[in-house]
């Protein structure tokens, strides 16, 4: 497997273990946390009702950016962006990038549903849906190099980070 995406910044992760004393390093209830470009509607409207489906929305917003080159919603102010997440329909990724496969687009759009009940219930369900997409097949080093040549106009080889992942046992070559 080549060209593996790695999530490196978990700066907003909080423990689910409750203690008698609030940890000043953790996000406190009632505070604003996260990037407005990737916040779920429930984060905008009601901080108290967050669950894994809120993370599914945010991951969908990241996926949207990855396939279109832009966030699902933008605006001149933070308020404009937050309001759009809460009420505006998401533009279809294929409207921005016609090369987005329809099955992948359906997965991304489902992640970005306004109502949490309409999203994937958990990461396992999302993973299954992504695995079923035609574009999810594994590709070879040669296919990866060809793709990068088409994108950059220069020869490329699998990134060192992919080799490191294989060496550490994260992925199998």
pLDDT of res. 75: 92
Distances (CA, A) of 145 to 55, 134, 135, 136, 157: 32, 20, 17, 17, 5
Q: What is the pLDDT of residue 70?
A: 94
pLDDT tens across 145-168, in order? 887 788 776 544 555 555 544 544
Q: How high is the pLDDT of residue 146?
A: 85
Q: How many residues does the chain have?
A: 173
pLDDT the model gives residue 155: 47
Output the CA torsion 132→68→156→130 (10° steps): -10
pTM greater than the 0.85 cutoff: no
Digits of tens for pLDDT over the chain (173 positions)?
A: 556 666 665 555 555 555 555 555 555 555 566 788 999 999 888 766 788 999 999 999 999 999 999 999 999 999 999 999 999 999 999 999 999 999 999 999 999 999 999 999 999 999 999 999 988 877 777 888 887 788 776 544 555 555 544 544 444 44
Between CA 124 and CA 105, with CA 39 as vertex, the angle to 5 degrees is: 55
Q: Which domains does the chain have, with CATH numbers?
A: 36-137 (1.10.510.10), 138-173 (no CATH)
pLDDT of 23 reads 56
């Amino acid at each position: 497997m080549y060209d593996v995406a790695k999530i490196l910044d978990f700066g907003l992760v909080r423990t689910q273990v409750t203690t008698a004393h609030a940890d000043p390093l953790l996000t406190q209830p009632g505070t604003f946390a996260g990037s407005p470009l990737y916040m779920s509607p429930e984060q905008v409207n009601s901080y108290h009702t967050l669950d894994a489906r809120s993370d599914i929305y945010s991951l969908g917003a990241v996926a949207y950016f990855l396939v279109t080159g832009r966030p699902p919603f933008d605006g001149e102010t933070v308020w404009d962006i937050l309001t759009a997440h809460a009420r505006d329909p998401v533009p279809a990724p294929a409207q921005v990038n016609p090369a987005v496969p329809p099955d992948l687009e359906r997965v991304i759009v489902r992640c970005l549903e306004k109502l949490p009940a309409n999203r994937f219930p958990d990461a396992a369900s999302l993973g299954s849906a992504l695995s079923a997409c035609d574009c999810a097949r594994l590709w070879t080093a040669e296919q990866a190099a060809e793709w990068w040549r088409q994108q950059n106009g220069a020869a490329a080889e699998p990134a060192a980070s992919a080799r490191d992942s294989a060496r550490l046992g994260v992925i199998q070559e």
